[in-house]
């Protein structure tokens, strides 16, 4: 009889590292802060391939109808949780220093999107956040420190002040490895208007308006002794008094207005005027003959 040897596979238990638990507490605390912010902040934890970054947040805003709308404006987040003062040095009643590797600091401050360093203190259950700046000092070639003012960097659930603290650092998501089309809003409102207003004009020649030197002028179109505008012309009191017949305008639904061929050309011309004015204010000219833009200084 052959001898059989039975091998029994022993399953070794898997242990959860204490540092992982501490890290998860920080993630949960920041997620809770974002979810309870008004308007809420979208928090997305990175899963892989973004070394040195734990996640990102995206701005949410309320639109004209009161609905919550994501904006595509992004900040990167690096989260550090500490229980016994690891990472933390030179702590006083008003400040503390985060200590880490200079490689990390250089990665954060050179990131194509702004990086906010968030510190979670487990014992006090407090969050502090600071944008990583290029002037943050390095102590040595291998170590660096970032100074936190406790009062200015404290995140308190319910105060809803995160956007006011960091709104200037948010940037739109751009794929740097692919060609993309970027859009800018040329209007004085959030989206294509619902209405266009038709007023009767006292004049038929637009030159009269520009020779009058009345300021400010609305964005308008003058066709067949009628003004067309996306704005109420009454807001421009001197212009309205001088050139517009004093009676209520025709309020036309823009989509319906666009169905007629002549009106559609009016709308395109009016939108083009907005675009020209937008470029002029940005110091950008357009050369039609060569189909290229000209940036003025």
Pairing of strands 68-82, 55-62: antiparallel
Q: Are residues 136 and 225 in the same domain?
A: no
Exposure pattern of 73-108 as b/e (b: 16+ CB <10 Å)? bbbbbbbbbbeeeeebeeeeeeebbbebeeebbebb
Q: Are residues 237 and 283 in the same domain?
A: yes
Contacts with 26 (C-beta within 8 Å, 6 or more apart), sequence order:
79, 80, 81, 118, 120, 122
Mean pLDDT, rounded, of the chain: 81
Residue 179 counted as domain residue: no
**Any idea what DSSP says for residue 119?**
E
- Residue 267's domain comprises 195-295
Q: Which long-range contacts (CB under 8 A, 24 or more apart) does 99-103 make?
A: 99/139, 99/143, 99/144, 99/145, 100/143, 100/144, 100/145, 100/146, 101/142, 101/143, 101/144, 102/138, 102/140, 102/141, 102/142, 102/143, 102/144
- Token pair for residue 70? 């994501």
Tell me what pLDDT residue 176 has. 46
Asked whether the predicted pLDDT for residue 196 surpasses 60, the reply is: yes
**Any idea what DSSP says for residue 263?**
H
Residue 11 counted as domain residue: no
Q: How many domains does the chain have?
A: 2
Residue 217 — very low, low, confident or very high, per pLDDT cuts 50/70/90? Answer: confident
Other CB atoms within 10 Å distance of the CB of residue 149: 12
Q: Are residues 42 and 131 in the same domain?
A: yes
Residue 184 counted as domain residue: no
Q: Are residues 135 and 25 in the same domain?
A: yes
Residue 107 — very low, low, confident or very high, per pLDDT cuts 50/70/90? Answer: confident
Residue 175 — very low, low, confident or very high, per pLDDT cuts 50/70/90? Answer: very low
Integer angstrom CA distances of residue 159 from 10, 122, 211, 250, 297? 53, 21, 52, 44, 42
Average pLDDT estimate for 182-209: 77
Residue 4 counted as domain residue: no
């Amino acid at each position: 009889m052959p001898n059989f040897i039975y091998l029994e596979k022993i399953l070794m238990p898997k242990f959860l590292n204490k540092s992982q638990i501490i890290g998860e507490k920080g993630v949960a605390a920041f997620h809770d802060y974002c979810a309870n912010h008004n308007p809420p902040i979208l928090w997305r934890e990175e899963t892989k391939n973004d070394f040195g970054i734990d996640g990102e947040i995206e701005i949410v805003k309320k639109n004209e109808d009161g609905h919550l709308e994501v904006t595509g404006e992004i900040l990167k987040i690096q989260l550090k949780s500490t229980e016994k003062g690891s990472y933390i040095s030179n702590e006083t009643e008003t400040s503390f220093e985060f200590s880490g590797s200079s490689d990390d600091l250089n990665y954060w401050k050179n990131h194509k999107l702004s990086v906010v360093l968030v510190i979670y203190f487990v014992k006090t259950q407090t969050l502090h956040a600071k944008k990583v700046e290029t002037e943050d000092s390095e102590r040595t070639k291998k170590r660096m420190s970032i100074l936190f003012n406790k009062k200015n960097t404290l995140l308190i659930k319910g105060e809803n002040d995160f956007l006011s603290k960091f709104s200037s650092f948010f940037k739109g998501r751009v794929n740097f490895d692919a060609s993309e089309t970027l859009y800018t809003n040329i209007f004085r409102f959030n989206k294509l208007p619902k209405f266009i207003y038709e007023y009767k004009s006292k004049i038929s020649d637009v030159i009269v308006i520009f020779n009058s030197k009345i300021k400010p002028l609305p964005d308008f179109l003058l066709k067949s002794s009628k003004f067309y505008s996306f704005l109420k012309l009454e807001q421009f009191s001197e212009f309205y008094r001088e050139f517009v017949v004093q009676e209520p305008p025709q309020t036309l639904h823009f989509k319906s207005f666009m169905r007629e061929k002549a009106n559609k050309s009016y709308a395109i011309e009016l939108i083009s005027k907005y675009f020209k004015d937008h470029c002029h204010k940005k110091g950008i000219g357009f050369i039609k003959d060569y189909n290229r833009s000209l940036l003025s200084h």
